[in-house]
């Protein structure tokens, strides 16, 4: 089995097929499929696998219309099925229609161009070729709307947003945005063609592609995006108020969302997504020091070392109020001065809880989530604040490289990340998260050679986690996990290369330095 999945692993956003699952998965499926039959010994397949994985990630949200799969024909158990499907060369790409019959061996794509963008466009065209009867039931229609249809909707009140992508006939952007938004509610995406001159004139459209937005109130106008690219359109729509990822039934059963004004309502705090909130950082520290760590009766050995290093890093780098920094510094001095090899956690709690008011040291013991508030009590909160704290600390280390002088951590650009890694591994209450984080750290943390790379490493890994968790039950429908920063926060961070979204990492770095910098931390709502 290990051999069968050598180029692809369970963590990739695609389905690994095998002889015993191929037919039952593909035949009579409610969605279409594109399958790469490969051979793990074929050099070209090995070289192509990163493109295939990138494609799978790019179209992950299209899976109610078309899914991606792989099957390794070099795996002994798959010899017969590859023969039955007539696979002679590797890789062979086969499309299977939704609701296909048991005799269907798929339609081969034999073109020489296997670039990601070409494959993605082929997926769209293949999907569109389904007849009405074959159409995957959860997939929205991809045909363009006519002027009359669109114009009739102008100025009408509606339950949700409608976005219209107006484009050239050979453009794929409209269909791609429709598919990108398939799993979201609160917005319907349509497309119309630039050949509809009347429409262009009425909507005041001068360049293609363009996107036009009809709001539920009846207001309408051109969608204001920095770059007229698929990623910008899709991202803009996902972030509209009231637009959210559709949730599985079990998630809905957890109860109504607080933001929708239910009986469990807690006062909602308005906040600005372009800011970091001190209330989140302080609430996170409070929870970490008084709840998470307090479940340990004593600290000794490696645990104590991890705790000391963690306190060192926060005491030196926490970009917070004087009263909190003073508390952390006092805690650090106390820990350093104690020759003990074993500390009862109650002693630490005494210091954190009691002494503080005396000399201007104070950390509120109220949880006050702002940028980290969730639409239900069990969502967001502490883990969100921990990420926020970690990002703020890496940014502080890059902005103030001397801050860790004389702590024993000053020479190491990985010091902050390694300390967080050990904290998460040793103390973070979500053990599964700790395990995943440890895997990511093992894989690439040793490649971090500067404080700038440390900032970017954490950003990249956080996005990797966001990607894995998008659509999971822990995903707050009002704050869907997304690749961050979104184009509205940092348009310059996003570019497109060969049809694929790419980051401008230099711009991302500068954005992170500003966003998590002390000047961007709002004191609003602190207690």
The nearer residue to ligand FAD, 136 or 477, going by C-beta atoms, is 477
Tokens of 273: 């997504």
Closest approach of Cβ 353 to ligand FAD, in Å? 25
Distance between CA 3 and CA 176 in Å, rounded?
34
The nearer residue to ligand FAD, 71 or 392, going by C-beta atoms, is 392
The nearer residue to ligand FAD, 138 or 468, going by C-beta atoms, is 468
Please state whether 134 falls in left (phi above 0), alpha (psi between -120 and 50) or beta.
alpha
Residues 427-446 within binding reach of ligand FAD (CB under 6 A): 430, 432-433, 436-437
Residue 452 near ligand FAD by CB under 6 A: no
Burial letters 303-325, b for 16+ CB under 10 A, else e: bbebbbbbbbbbbbbbbbbebbb
Residues 281-340 within binding reach of ligand FAD (CB under 6 A): none
Distance between CA 216 and CA 161 in Å, rounded?
5
Residues 238, 202 contacting (CB under 8 angstroms): no
Length of the chain: 527
Q: Please return the burial class of 223, using the count of CB atoms within 10 Å of its CB with bins 0-12, 13-18 and 19+.
A: middle
Establish whether 45 is a catalytic residue. Answer: yes
Residue 469 near ligand FAD by CB under 6 A: yes
User: Which of 6, 107, 462, 524 forms a contact with ligand FAD (CB under 6 A)?
Assistant: 462
Closest approach of Cβ 476 to ligand FAD, in Å? 5
Name the segment binding ligand FAD (CB under 6 A); options: 27-35, 221-229, 326-334, 471-479.
Answer: 471-479
Tokens of 274: 């372009």
Closest approach of Cβ 280 to ligand FAD, in Å? 9
Torsion of CA 285, 286, 287, 289, to 10 degrees: 80
Count residues contacting ligand FAD (CB under 6 A)? 26
x/- map, 407-426, ligand FAD, by CB under 6 A: -----------------x--
Closest approach of Cβ 510 to ligand FAD, in Å? 13
Closest approach of Cβ 27 to ligand FAD, in Å? 33
Which among 361, 345, 370, 356 has a CA at the least distance from the CA of 290? 345
Closest approach of Cβ 441 to ligand FAD, in Å? 10
Q: What share of the chain is helix, strand, coil (3-state, %, to 5)?
A: 45, 15, 45
- The CA-based angle 400-494-174, given to 5 degrees, is 160
Which one-letter DSSP state was computed for residue 146? P
165 pairs with which residues across the strands? Answer: 191, 211
The nearer residue to ligand FAD, 56 or 281, going by C-beta atoms, is 281
Establish whether 42 is a catalytic residue. Answer: yes
Residues 334-373 within binding reach of ligand FAD (CB under 6 A): 372
Closest approach of Cβ 261 to ligand FAD, in Å? 21
Tokens of 86: 């007539």
Residues 237, 161 contacting (CB under 8 angstroms): yes
Name the segment binding ligand FAD (CB under 6 A); options: 126-134, 197-205, 219-227, 463-471.
Answer: 463-471
Burial letters 115-147, b for 16+ CB under 10 A, else e: ebbbbbbbbbebbeebeeeebbeebbebebbeb
Catalytic residue among 45, 73, 82, 139: 45
Closest approach of Cβ 420 to ligand FAD, in Å? 7
User: Which of 92, 100, 306, 388 forms a contact with ligand FAD (CB under 6 A)?
Assistant: 388
For the beta carbon of residue 46, count every other beta carbon within 10 angstroms. Answer: 14
User: Which of 479, 493, 521, 526 forms a contact with ligand FAD (CB under 6 A)?
Assistant: 479
The nearer residue to ligand FAD, 362 or 484, going by C-beta atoms, is 484
- The CA-based angle 6-441-487, given to 5 degrees, is 90
Give SS3 for 367.
coil
- For 397, phi and psi rounded to 5 degrees? -60, -40
Residue 465 near ligand FAD by CB under 6 A: yes
User: Which of 383, 410, 522, 524 forms a contact with ligand FAD (CB under 6 A)?
Assistant: 383
Residue 476 near ligand FAD by CB under 6 A: yes
The nearer residue to ligand FAD, 31 or 375, going by C-beta atoms, is 375
The nearer residue to ligand FAD, 123 or 243, going by C-beta atoms, is 243
Residues 181-220 within binding reach of ligand FAD (CB under 6 A): none
Residue 459 near ligand FAD by CB under 6 A: yes
CA atoms within 13 A on the CB side of 299: 25
Give SS3 for 35.
strand
User: Which of 391, 422, 478, 501 forms a contact with ligand FAD (CB under 6 A)?
Assistant: 391
Name the segment binding ligand FAD (CB under 6 A); options: 164-172, 217-225, 296-304, 476-484.
Answer: 476-484
Name the segment binding ligand FAD (CB under 6 A); options: 332-340, 343-351, 409-417, 465-473.
Answer: 465-473
User: Which of 115, 168, 474, 527 forms a contact with ligand FAD (CB under 6 A)?
Assistant: 474
User: Which of 184, 233, 387, 427 forms a contact with ligand FAD (CB under 6 A)?
Assistant: 387
388 sits in which H/E element: helix 382-399
Q: E strands within 25-123?
A: 32-38, 66-72, 92-96, 107-109
278 sits in which H/E element: helix 278-287
The nearer residue to ligand FAD, 126 or 459, going by C-beta atoms, is 459
The nearer residue to ligand FAD, 126 or 437, going by C-beta atoms, is 437
The nearer residue to ligand FAD, 310 or 387, going by C-beta atoms, is 387
Q: Which residues are catalytic?
A: 42, 45
Give the binding site for ligand FAD (CB under 6 A). 372, 380, 383-384, 386-388, 391, 424, 430, 432-433, 436-437, 459, 462-463, 465-466, 469, 472, 474, 476, 479, 481, 484
């Amino acid at each position: 089995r290990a051999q069968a999945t050598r180029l692809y692993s369970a963590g990739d956003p695609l389905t690994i097929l095998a002889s015993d699952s191929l037919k039952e998965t593909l035949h009579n499926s409610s969605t279409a499929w594109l399958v790469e039959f490969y051979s793990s010994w074929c050099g070209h397949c090995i070289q192509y696998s990163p493109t295939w994985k990138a494609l799978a990630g790019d179209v992950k949200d299209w899976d109610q219309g078309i899914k991606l799969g792989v099957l390794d024909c070099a795996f002994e158990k798959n010899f017969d099925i590859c023969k039955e499907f007539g696979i002679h060369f590797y890789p062979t790409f086969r499309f299977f229609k939704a609701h296909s019959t048991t005799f269907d061996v798929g339609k081969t794509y034999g073109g020489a161009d296997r670039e990601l963008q070409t494959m993605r466009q082929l997926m769209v065209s293949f999907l569109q070729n389904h007849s009405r009867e074959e159409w995957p039931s959860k997939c929205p229609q991809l045909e363009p709307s006519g002027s009359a249809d669109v114009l009739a909707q102008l100025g009408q009140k509606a339950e949700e947003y409608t976005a219209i992508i107006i484009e050239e006939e050979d453009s794929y952007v409209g269909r791609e945005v429709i598919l990108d938004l398939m799993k979201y509610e609160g917005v319907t995406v349509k497309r119309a063609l630039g050949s509809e001159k009347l429409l262009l004139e009425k909507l005041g459209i001068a360049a293609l592609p363009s996107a036009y937005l009809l709001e539920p109130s009846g207001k309408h106008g051109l969608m204001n995006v920095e770059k007229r690219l698929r990623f910008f359109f899709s991202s803009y729509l996902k972030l509209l108020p009231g637009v959210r990822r559709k949730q599985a039934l079990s998630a809905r059963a957890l109860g109504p969302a607080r933001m929708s004004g239910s009986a469990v309502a807690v006062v909602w705090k308005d906040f600005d997504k372009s800011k970091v909130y001190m209330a989140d950082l302080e609430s996170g520290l409070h929870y970490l020091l008084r709840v998470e760590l307090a479940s340990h009766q004593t600290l000794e050995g490696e645990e104590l070392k991890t705790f000391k290093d963690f306190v060192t890093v926060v005491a030196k780098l926490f970009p917070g109020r004087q009263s909190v920094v003073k508390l952390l510094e006092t805690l650090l001095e106390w820990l350093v001065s104690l020759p003990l090899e074993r500390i009862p956690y109650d002693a630490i709690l005494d210091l954190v809880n009691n002494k503080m008011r005396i000399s201007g040291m104070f950390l509120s013991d109220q949880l006050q989530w702002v940028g980290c508030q969730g639409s239900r009590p069990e969502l967001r909160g502490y883990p969100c604040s921990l990420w926020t704290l970690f990002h703020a600390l890496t940014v502080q280390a890059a902005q103030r490289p001397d801050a860790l002088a004389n702590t024993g951590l000053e020479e190491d650009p990985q010091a902050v990340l390694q300390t967080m890694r050990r904290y998460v591994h040793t103390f973070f209450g979500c053990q599964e998260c700790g395990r995943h984080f440890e895997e990511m750290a093992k894989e690439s943390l040793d490649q971090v050679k500067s404080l700038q790379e440390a900032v970017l490493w954490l950003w990249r890994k956080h996005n990797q986690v966001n990607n894995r968790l998008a659509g999971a039950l822990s995903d707050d429908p009002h704050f869907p996990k997304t690749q961050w920063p979104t184009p509205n926060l940092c348009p310059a961070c996003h570019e497109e290369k060969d049809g694929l979204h790419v980051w401008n990492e230099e711009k991302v770095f500068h954005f992170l330095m500003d966003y998590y910098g002390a000047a961007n931390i709002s004191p609003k709502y602190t207690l």
